[in-house]
Each structure stands twice: as C-alpha cells, then as structure tokens.
Structure 1
Amino acid sequence: MMMTVRSCSWVLLIACGIGNLFAGSTVGAEDQTVSGYVFHDQNANGLREPDEAGLAKVRVSNGRDVVETDPAGRYELPVSTDTVVFVIKPRGWMVPTSSNHLPRFYYVHKPNGSPSNLEYPGVSPTGPLPSSVDFPLQKQAEPNRFQVVAFGDPQPNNLGDIYHLAHDVVPELVGTDAAFGLCLGDLMADSLDLFPAYNDVMGQIGIPFYNTIGNHDINFDVSSDALSDETWERVYGPATYSFDWGPVHFIVADNVYYDGDKRYHGEFTEQVLEFIRNDLRYVPRDQLVVVTMHIPLTSTNDSALLELLKERPSLSLAGHAHQIRHRFVAIPGADGERSKHHHVVNGAVCGIHWLGDPDEYGIPHAMTHCGSPNGYTFITFDGNEYSMKFKAPRRPDDDQMHIFLPSEMAESTLGEAEVLVNVYFGSEKNKTEMRVDDGPWVTMKREIRQDPYLLKVVPPGHPVSQATHIWAGKLPESLKPGGHTLHVRTKDMFGQTFSAARVFRVLSEDN
C-alpha cells in the first residue's frame, strides 16, 4: 500500500517518533515483518506517487539482515519492537536530508517508545508498524573522484565549546568542495541536550554529515548496551549502517559497548559483525571499503572485523584517543599488498577537550595528546585509491609540522643540539629530511616520544602521549657563529611533500 503522510519531510518526522503518520491500515506487532518500497522521488516531496517507479536491487536493512529490493522496488524484513530499518544509499542516488543536512534514510520502529525516565529523551512511541515503510531517493552525480572531510571528537562540554567549534573550525569549511562529512564519534561530551545546537552549527557547512556514535554520545542512565543509544536513535537514527558514494562503500560501525554504571569497552558485537557480513555480500571484492568507528580498531576485537575485510581494499577511521596515529594492522591469513589494513586514528577537532589558553578571539589554543594541533582531515578518493591531508583550523594548508630547536646555542654545544620535528599527520611511511642553510639533506630518524612543546603547556593531569610521528636529528658541529636557517621536508605515503623552516643563532665563545 502506498503511504500517505502529513509532511513531505516524513523520514525526519517518523525518526523523531511523532506518532503514527500513516493513513490506511497498520499491521499488528505480532506480525514482526516490515515491507515497503524504495522509489525514485521525482518531485522530492517524500511521497510515493503512482508515476514514481520503484528501484530494483537497492539494499535495505534492519541492522542485521540485508536484502535487495525486487524488480518493483519492494523489500521485506523481519523486525522486533526495537528496530531501525534503513535504506543503504546506492551510488548515484541521495536520501532526503534535514534542514541541517543530516541524512534521513531510516525508520525507527519502537511501538512503545524509549524508556520514559531517561535524562535525555529517546524515541517517542511510534505506534503500530505501518503497512508500508517507503524510502525516497533522488538522482545525483557521483564521480569516481571526490573528497570527504573527517572529524574526530568535537566533544563540546557546553554551549561555549560549541561556539568554539563554530568560530574555529566551521567557517573555513562553509562552501567546501567536499561531497560529505564523516564524524567519528563523541559529537557530545555526555550532555546530549546539546545535540540541537551542535547540529545547527555543523549544518552551516552545507554538506551531509554521516555520524558515528561515541562513548560520550550514549545514555548512561540505562542498564544495558541495547538501551544506550536511545537518544542517538531519536536524533541520528541507527548507530550502525552503510552507504555507497561514488565507487566507495562506507560502513559506519558502533563499537562502543556499554557495560553499565558509566563504564564501557570497545567491541564489535555479534549483531554489528553480522550486519557487516551480510552487507559485504553485495559489495564487489575489488571495491574500496571504508569503515568508520569511534574506539580505535586495536582496542577492540579487531580480528573479527579484519576477517570480514580480508582480501578487500580497505581503510578504517577512528577517533576517541585525541591524537593522530597511523597503524598498518596485519590481517591474519591475508597475503600480498592486502595483507595489512590501514587504520587511522584521526585526531580531534576539540584537541584535548578545548583545553588551552584563549587567543585574542577567545578560542582555545587546542592541541591533541600527541602535540598536533586540533584539526580534521580531507580524504580524496579516486576509484579504490585514496589520499589524506590534515588541516589545522585557521592555519595555512601547508602548515603540517612544527620544529623544536633552541633559538640560540653556544658554538661548543652544537654537537649536543637536537632537532625534533612533529609531522602532524606523519606515519612510519614518511621520509623526513633536514638541512642547515644550503647544506646537504640529511635523513632524520623517526622516534616514539613526547612532543616537547606540549610538555611545556599542558596542565597537570592531562596525559601527553608517546607520539608516533616525531623525527629527530642533530645539527652539524661545523656551523659558524651567526644566524642560520634549518629547513625540514617530509614526503608522506601519498607522495605529498611538505616543508617548514626555523631560524636560530650560533653564539661564539666570546659572547
């Protein structure tokens, strides 16, 4: 049966749990089957009109099972009384979005609603299962080459932090060429009543954002993991889902398992893994798969996910750690060029929780635990290849490192003078070199150590991590007294070269 609704923005309204918006008959809860159509919404009103064709071979899921629509665009899935049904966006098509550009691709089925005693409200009772749950799609161009912006941990503690985000990060992204954004969790810092203000600010960027749930985005006043995403479902829909964009398949995976009593751990549950397994059955083995999560892969049951990604080109992104780190994780049983999986811990938009002395505009000078500035990443996809570039807000695009070297030193101590370079988005695959003035280039050594600048400014009680993207070198002992310039250049795994310089003085023994 074709559904009729009271508003053209029907996906948003139903997801927010605003009653039974369907005209016509409903099925009883005991039937436990949802059906409907995925259709070409040619007039963009959200309603399936008689002349709007159903779309075949589009995937739909209940968070575990994945089915394809039949030639008429119809699907059918089992549901419980706590299910989010969603369409898996195919290439060349787009789902409706809210006024803040949030994708609306799901229907929340909770006949009885969320628990009524939550500090932050969940889903209102949705009533009986509608006779048809339909998903509108509209055509859009999706070339092989496109760009995505990836955020880790915006994590505002209060409205002031949301305005830090609004003034520090968002303005330079307004009008971006990125096709969409990915947020890797901890959109909040436990205060889930800030979701509306956060969405208002992020919506100004003007592109869809696909969000990953984090440990600070959950309901803590519940007894089980199954109830920890009630508010998330009201605002964003499913915590685990997938979509295609261009030639790339994206999977957003919930790996925050709530243990109760405000404790959690990193885990891909059996249901999440089953969804990914079923989802990938429809994904060609040579298609790039990008998995987003909140807790870094190596702090979870990573082998279970890696087994599903084996023999596929893949990339995964995480937040949580408030630092930048590249890992190349061995996939058990895999050989050749796909024997290692590239996992990126993507830093944090908030740095260390918006910690730092305010600048003249009142914005904190925020750094992450590894000494990199707060920031985000641009990812450029081209077929099943990709490249990545870090961006610190309100800094030039080529600001990719800082150099630690005393401003002056005695001629007699040149042999002891150490040069340290923090390449913000560097990995073990970078080649980093230095030279003084017009001297020869010398290869620097990557060392795992703390950032010396961060050690100077971080308040007590905030950890400074052992950064994996610091390179060390020594000054030539033959330098003459006077002014000199240290030049540093680094080439990353994507073939991008960045440089920086620092001026210093060598003092004669007579000074």
Structure 2
Amino acid sequence: MKRLLKYLFVCCICILNMSAMAQSASGIKGKVMCQGKGISNVVVTNGFDCVLTDTKGMYSLPYHRDARFVYVTTPAGYLPQREASLPHYYKRIDSEVENYDFTLIKNPKNDDKHICLVQSDVQAAKASDIEGYMKYLKDVRQFVGERRNSDIFVLDCGDIVGNAPAIFPSYIQASNVLDLPFYRAVGNHDMEYGVRSYEHSYKTFEEYFGPIYYSFNRGKAHYIVLNNCFYINRHYRYIGYIDERTLQWIEADLSFVPKDHLVFVAMHIPSSSTKELQFNALLPDETSNASSLYDLLAGYDAHIFSGHTHYNWNVVFNDKLMEHNTAAVCGTFWKADICTDGTPSGYGIYEVNGNKVTWSYKSAGFPIDHQFRGYPVGSSEEYPQDIIANVWNWDELWKVEWYENGKCMGEMQRFEGYDPEAKIICSDKERVEYDWIMPIKTEHLFKATPQNKNAVIEIVVTDRFGHIYKQNIK
C-alpha cells in the first residue's frame, strides 16, 4: 500500500511538472473583448512583462515562474467587470490553464471628464470601526448622488484594516454601498506580520484584492497603484521602499502612456514630506528610494496620492510633480472625527477634464466649502495672543488673509505647531484610550495678532484655483 501511495504521489508531481513545462513552452495567451469583439492595443501584463493586444484582441505573454496574476490595464472608454466595489481586471494564474480571456464593458459615461475620490487609513480593527466607516460613507454617498451623471471611482491608499485581516470582508461589504469601483493599495497594517519575508507579507491582501501593483486608464489620465510597504520582519518593522520588480514594471507600463497624459500614482507610504529627500536608508514614513519613482515620472504631469501619516499635507516638488498626502478616514483612530493635525476625517476629490485636474478636500459631515478652521485669541498655548487658522489642504499657491473690523490686515503668518482642538482631544487619555496617541505638529497653521481683542475678525482663504472661503472669529 505504501509503495502504491508513493507511486501515485510521484505521478502527480510528474503531471504538475509536465503542465508547468507546457505552460513554460507556450506562455500565457488570451483575448480581450467587448460585446464579443476583440479590442486592439490593450496592455496586458503578468506583473513582469507588458504586451499589447493585436487587431483581433489577442495577446501572448512569456511564461514567468514568479507571476501570480495576468491582468489588463483597462483602456480609456472601457471598464472591467466588477462585483460591487471589486473590479475584476485580473485572473489568478493556474498551471493547468493556458488561455485567459477578459471581457470589458464599454463605459456608458464620458471618461474624458471623471472624478477620482481618494481616501486612506480606514484602519478598521473591530466591528465598531466598521460602523464608523459606514457613517463616513454616508457623506461620500451623498456627494456621489449629487454627481450621478459623472464617471466616478475610488482610490483607497491602504491601511484598510488595523492588523486585522479578518475585517477585510466587513470593509468590502461596507464599501459596496457606494456601487463604485474601488482600486486599493496595500498598507503596512494590511500586511501579514510574522512571516519570513516581504514576498509573503501581502499574500492575504492578494487573496481579497488581487495584484499589489497595477494600472488603468480614464480618458487622458493614467492611474498606477503600487505597494511601497516593504516588510523587513525584525520587530514587525517595515520601510517605505519600491522594489526593483515593481520599478521595472512601472517603466514598462509607462512606455505605453503618451507624455501629454496625466499620470497619478497611488501608494500608502508618502514618497517625501519635503521637497528635498531625507538622507536616510531606512524610512518607515517616507519612501527611501523615492527618487527612482520620480525619475520614471519625469516628463509627465504627475500627482502622487498617499496616506499613512494620518494628516493632510501637499508637497509641490516642481511644476510637473506634486504629492497629496491624504488625512485618515478614521480621524484619531476612531476616537475623534479629526486627525492629530486637526484635519477633519474626509477624502480628496480630483476632477479631471482631459489632461487637466483640479482638486479639493471634502471634510466628512461638512459642506464642501469647509476648507479651514479658525480659532479665537487664547486658543493656542504657544501663541495665546493670536488668532489661529488651520488650512489643511494648503499649498504654496494658497493665500490666507485676515480682516480686523473690515480692514484687510494682510496675510497671516504660517508656522509649525499644534492644532488647538487636536491637542485637547489627544490629552484626554480616557477618550483616545491609547497612550501613544499624540497630537502632531503641522505646517498648515497660520497666526495673526489682533490690535483690538474685541474687534470683529474675519479670515479669508483663497485656494490655488481662486475659490474663496471665509470665516468670522468670535
């Protein structure tokens, strides 16, 4: 009996090896179709090689032993099949399958004009966190309902859960209420910890959401989603880093993108919080080899979307490259509706028209014109004689002015400090529960000293697109 079992086992191994050898010889083939007709010039990839479909929609990829998926870069004018919020643009490679066909859907809306909603750090660790997420989604649903004729999708920049993979299904079910495609990046809290290497850290994420890097098109905009959370194991540590496999794939992917198209890159850990890169090889909160990504994006009008920090911050590297670090959906880890820099929990809104884009930050539960918060004299411990303004989506093309009794007193002075409300919340340890939750200093604060403490004070903020927001300080 033992000899028979051993013989059967050897036969199974031989069959599997023969199947793998057959696939190795012929590679991976298939067809990309819409309504039964092949679509030409569609990029198909195995995560290593990128090829175009021919005039009949056929493609052929070489065999690669480390490839786990074959997937499509959805072309402009088309959408992948989807199940609620999960777009099915990929198929898992099976050694016994040689042909992988994809059926796309013609986009019923004009995707030259579209809206990308960017969120990050839902960081759900238990059922009550999902309840908070569902409350947040009511705001998003209202926004989407008011723009039902627009082509809209969501980019989630990771930390979907808080070291709790069992929460993935609940997160997906909650997200489905929007009936929109979600394109998701893996965050450091979405990884498996305790595994032996980086390559094992994202396996559970892949089971739910597919490849850890991929791309798609909308109109004249190209979107790339990356994993830059590099797990190094020791004490459950990670760094921000893009591995060579991914960089080579980005280079191949971008070779099919015209230079006059916008390029958006979504990833979890920021590339950099400053224009000048820090000199440090092990950065858990920035991407150590960010310059390699910048080199690949050279020549494009490009924007990077990131999360991870739980604060809101924009970096204008140059006139062709900008990063938008998006505040956390979970606010202060579901203990308060503002983040530790004072930014309300919310999401970024990016409205694309051709190869131009405008953007704003939407605070959940507030109207769209809620773009800053003003504080009266005495609110700040650091500057008790000053009025304070926290302008969370500020960048260097914004203007922050103040008026005293109707007279313009000029621009307020930007400084680095603590948001007064965030400082109060984080000092209440019963509320925030965890000792490690602390307010963080931010550079999107502004101050001014009134001549008359009893005067009528008004703060006027103008964003880079000329939109004006006002608030009276009592």
Hey, which bits of structure 1, 4+ residues long, moved more than 6 A? none
71, 77, 80: which one pairs with 1:86?
71
Please say if residues 316 and 395 of structure 2, whose CA atoms lie closer than 8 Å, have aligned partners that are also in contact: no
Please say if residues 67 and 75 of structure 1, whose CA atoms lie closer than 8 Å, have aligned partners that are also in contact: yes
Question: CA 1:448–1:428 in 2, change beyond 3 Å: closer, same or farther?
Answer: farther
Q: Distance in 1 between matches of 2:317 and 2:385?
A: 35
Q: Distance in 1 between matches of 2:443 and 2:268?
A: 20
Aligned to 1:217: 190
Instruction: Tell me, yes or no, if structure 1 residue 464 matches structure 2 residue 439.
Output: yes
Identity of aligned residues (%): 27
- 420-429 vs 27-36, greater mean Cα deviation: 27-36
25, 29, 35: which one pairs with 1:35?
29
Q: Distance in 2 between matches of 1:38 and 1:404?
A: 56
What are the superposed Cα offsets for residues 204-253 of structure 1, whole Å, 9 maximum, x if unpaired?
01111111110011111321111111111111100100000111000001
Please say if residues 428 and 446 of structure 1, whose CA atoms lie closer than 8 Å, have aligned partners that are also in contact: no
Aligned to 1:47: none
Please say if residues 83 and 108 of structure 1, whose CA atoms lie closer than 8 Å, have aligned partners that are also in contact: yes
Question: CA 1:133–1:436 in 2, change beyond 3 Å: closer, same or farther?
Answer: same
- 195-204 vs 393-402, greater mean Cα deviation: 393-402
- SS of 1:227 mapped into structure 2: helix
222, 230, 241: which one pairs with 1:257?
230
Compute the displacement of 1:134 (Å): 0.6
Please say if residues 155 and 187 of structure 1, whose CA atoms lie closer than 8 Å, have aligned partners that are also in contact: yes
Aligned to 2:255: 281
Aligned to 1:455: 423
Question: CA 1:80–1:488 in 2, change beyond 3 Å: closer, same or farther?
Answer: same
Q: Distance in 1 between matches of 2:87 and 2:213?
A: 14
Q: Distance in 2 between matches of 1:152 and 1:494?
A: 24
Question: Aligned letter for 2:129?
Answer: D
Aligned to 1:412: none
Q: Distance in 2 between matches of 1:344 and 1:312?
A: 16
- SS of 2:133 mapped into structure 1: helix
Aligned to 1:496: 467
305, 310, 325: which one pairs with 2:313?
325
Question: Aligned letter for 1:329?
Answer: F
Aligned to 1:310: 298
**TM-score of the pair, normalised by structure 2:** 0.85
Compute the displacement of 1:350 (Å): 0.5
268, 290, 293: which one pairs with 2:267?
293
- 369-378 vs 398-407, greater mean Cα deviation: 398-407
Q: What does residue range 90-489 of structure 1 map to in structure 2 within 5 Å?
A: 90-98=75-83, 100-109=84-93, 126=94, 128-140=95-107, 141-174=109-142, 175-176=144-145, 177=147, 179-261=152-234, 262-298=236-272, 299-300=286-287, 301-329=289-317, 337-338=319-320, 341-355=321-335, 365-406=336-377, 417-459=385-427, 460-477=435-452, 484-489=455-460
Please say if residues 108 and 233 of structure 1, whose CA atoms lie closer than 8 Å, have aligned partners that are also in contact: no
Q: What does residue range 9-88 of structure 1 map to in structure 2 within 5 Å?
A: 28-30=19-21, 31-32=23-24, 33-40=27-34, 42=35, 52-77=36-61, 78-80=63-65, 82-88=67-73
Q: Distance in 1 between matches of 2:244 and 2:353?
A: 32
What are the superposed Cα offsets for residues 231-289 of structure 1, whole Å, 9 maximum, x if unpaired?
11111100100000111000001101111242111101101111110001000011110
Q: Distance in 2 between matches of 1:243 and 1:342?
A: 20
Compute the displacement of 1:82 (Å): 4.5
**What is the aligned-residue RMSD (CA, Å)?**
2.1
Q: Which has the higher helix share?
A: 2
Question: Aligned letter for 1:37?
Answer: K
**TM-score of the pair, normalised by structure 1:** 0.79
Question: CA 1:27–1:376 in 2, change beyond 3 Å: closer, same or farther?
Answer: farther
What are the superposed Cα offsets for residues 180-225 of structure 1, whole Å, 9 maximum, x if unpaired?
0110010111111111111111110111111111001111132111
Runs (5+) with no aligned partner, structure 2:
1-16, 273-285, 428-434
Q: Distance in 1 between matches of 2:366 and 2:39?
A: 45
Runs (5+) with no aligned partner, structure 1:
1-25, 43-51, 110-125, 331-336, 356-364, 409-414, 504-511
Compute the displacement of 1:489 (Å): 1.0
What are the superposed Cα offsets for residues 116-157 of structure 1, whole Å, 9 maximum, x if unpaired?
xxxxxxxxxx5x331211111111133322211110111111
Please say if residues 403 and 502 of structure 1, whose CA atoms lie closer than 8 Å, have aligned partners that are also in contact: yes
Please say if residues 148 and 182 of structure 1, whose CA atoms lie closer than 8 Å, have aligned partners that are also in contact: yes
Q: Distance in 2 between matches of 1:427 and 1:281?
A: 31
